[in-house]
Structure 1
Amino acid sequence: MTQPIVDVQKLSHVYMQGTPLSHVALNEVSLQVQAGECLAIIGHTGSGKSTLIQHFNGLIRPQSGKVIVNGMDVSQPKIDIRSLRRQVGLVFQNPEDQLFEKLVGDDVAYGPFKMGLPLEEVKNRVKWAMDLVGLNFQEMKDRPTYALSGGQKRKVALAGVLSLQPKVLVLDEPTAGLDPRSRLELLGRIRRLNREEGLTVIFVSHNMEEVSQLADRVYVMANGKAVCEGTPRQIFGNQELLREHHIGTPESVDILYRLRERGYDINPGAFLPEETACEILKLIQR
């Protein structure tokens, strides 16, 4: 197997270490992500997901263990942190946390401009990134960021990260607070970035529907540990695991488990909507 683009080795992190209020957020977490993969990290609130992903671009430095991103060891004091953050783009759950400029075009251009790129290259990157996320450059570049909807702000934040042309895109609850239409559109954009642009995507989510639709693999976090990993089919097909760690399920999986509990011979691993429909049709046709 090739060297992973993100390699986490026995990573531990304690908040307020050495005080009576110390809290173990991560406890010897190991995780690997291959280039071009789409990886989901799931688990209850407080399981350590957000702390983990903030190590990927150096927002938090390892206290114990290692985080190696595309050959760069994040624990090294002399690491080129700017280079790291150009390779790993992190989009926060709240888009307002990373909107810096008054106008949309200026905000998307902020990163490339700080990189010292020629103005023509900056403009090309801004147009490219805005197009990728579904923002019309001519219509939106002079729009005030404060006047945007929640979905538009999320797109601008994503475009600002993509304008750096990172190798890894990290998303914290990418569709939180979006209406169903905006959610589906953004999921489609993320899927295309991964499948067509070859961008490595890592995302944290409580929404099991989007996990089932996007992820190639899933890591389950609990109490600061990575307790298991597998494909969505392996994770959602393991009812004991779901119950033990209080993991929600996509609606399709929930339907299949309910049918099986009522005595029907059905495959709960058939979580994709079209597969679920086939399973139900088999029951009807018997």
Structure 2
Amino acid sequence: MTSKPILEIKDLHHTYMEKTPMEHQALTGVNMAIQEGECVAIIGHTGSGKSTLIQHFNGLLRPQKGKVVINGQDMSEPKIDIRKVRRKVGIVFQNPEDQIFEQLIGDDIAFGPLKMGLPIEEVRDRVKWAMEIVGLSFEELKDRLTYALSGGQKRKVALAGVLALRPKVLVLDEPTAGLDPRSRIELLSQIQLLNKKENMTVVFVSHNMEEVAYLSDRVFVMAEGKTVLDGSPKEIFSNQNVLEQHNIGTPETVEILSGLKKEGYSVDLSAYEVKNAAAEIISILQSGKGGESIGRT
């Protein structure tokens, strides 16, 4: 890609409680460039700086040192219109309750567009579109009380509230944490739809490597406050030495293939997708270790 990144980070540093006994350096020189339309995962062990980093993506935190450029706007500029930036970059945090303000679902999702001063007809259209995108029936649920929702439904409402702003970039912090398997699959499908069909740039933080393998076009690995590796999921999950060094897991498919390789079987560790991993295992069952068949006779 030759176009300018929609989001660019250069040598970003951030220190909490600077010049106090509680000083903690969370970011120590992050570099990152994300192109429009990409779906990017950020992974790393707890404390690697992921959550601090994404708070710079829409101005919740401002650069102490280094540069953050969002959709061509330098976040270090003192006169930057931060509200305008936040309409372009929407963040859904891990705890959806923190982003729900109103008693009724429809009112909560309409909160942002109303603050933008949009006509009521457009606000209604945006709320309906956002609810349908995340799998919530507009007619059935717009007047339902938010406090009575399940965790999965609250996450969908929080996501719809951000989508109603029509952001160019959607940032998600552990999007499926605490969800049951059905809700998790539904949400992953919705995220993929937004990225592929709506051409929305998606950046998500996750500890779930299966989700990373399923969704992402590119992966950034963080450790000790900086990026230590980036590439396609195939490139990242093939680099087990670096992942193990920083206490980062791999998808179960890669773990299975790695176990087979340690037993002496010839396998392709980059076959992380389920169908490809299955083909590798079938091949082993048919040929066996050292060429002897271990399949059915």
TM range (shorter): over 0.9
2:202 is paired with a residue whose SS is: strand
Q: Could you list the per-position Cα deviations for residues 185-229 of structure 1 after superposition, in whole angstroms to 9, with x for gaps in the alignment? A: 100000010011100000000000100000101000001011110
Q: Which residue of the partner structure matches residue 223 of structure 1?
A: 224
Residue 111 of structure 2 aligns to a residue in which SS? helix
Structure 2 counterpart SS, 1:185 = helix
Q: CA deviation at 1:249?
A: 1.0
Q: Deviations over 1:227-267 (max 9, x none)?
A: 11011101111121121111111111111101101100001
Structural mapping, 1:101-116, within 5 Å: 101-116=102-117
Where do 1:110-149 residues align within 5 Å? 110-149=111-150
C-alpha deviation, 1:75, in angstroms:
1.4
Per-residue displacement from partner, 1:64-92 (whole Å, max 9, x unpaired)?
01100001111112110110000000000
Tell me the amino acid that sits aligned with residue 103 of structure 2: K
- Following the alignment from structure 1 to structure 2, what is the Cα–Cα distance between the partners of residues 267 and 261? 12
CA distance in 2, matches of 1:13, 1:57: 15
Aligned length: 286
State the partner residue of 1:199.
Answer: 200
SS at match of 1:76: coil
State the 1:20 CA deviation.
1.3
2:164 corresponds in structure 1 to: 163
Match for residue 243 of structure 1?
244
Q: Map residues 1-286 of structure 1 onto 2, 5 A cutoff.
A: 1-286=2-287
What is the percent sequence identity of the aligned residues?
64
CA distance in 1, matches of 2:114, 2:6: 26
Q: Aligned with 2:198: secondary structure?
A: coil
Mapped partners of 1:188, 1:285: distance in 2: 34
Provide the alpha-carbon RMSD of the alignment: 0.6
Amino acid in the other structure paired with 2:185: L
The secondary structure found in structure 2 opposite 1:265 is: coil
CA distance in 2, matches of 1:37, 1:94: 24
Give 1:158 shift: 0.2
SS of structure 1 residue aligned to 2:42: strand
For residues 262 and 239 of structure 1, the distance between their equivalents in structure 2, rounded to whole angstroms, comes to 17
Which runs of at least 4 in structure 1 moved beyond 6 Å after TM superposition?
none
Q: Which amino acid aligns with 1:187?
A: L
In structure 1, how many angstroms separate the alpha carbons of the residues matched to 2:125 and 2:16? 41
Distance 1:141 1:45 in 2: 37
Alpha-carbon distance between aligned partners in 2 of 1:79 and 1:99, rounded to the nearest angstrom? 27
Deviation at 1:33, TM superposition (A): 0.2
Cα deviation, 1:68-126, whole Å, max 9, x if unaligned, reads 00011111121101100000000000000100100000000000000000000000000
- What is the distance in 2 between the residues matched to 1:68 and 1:130? 30
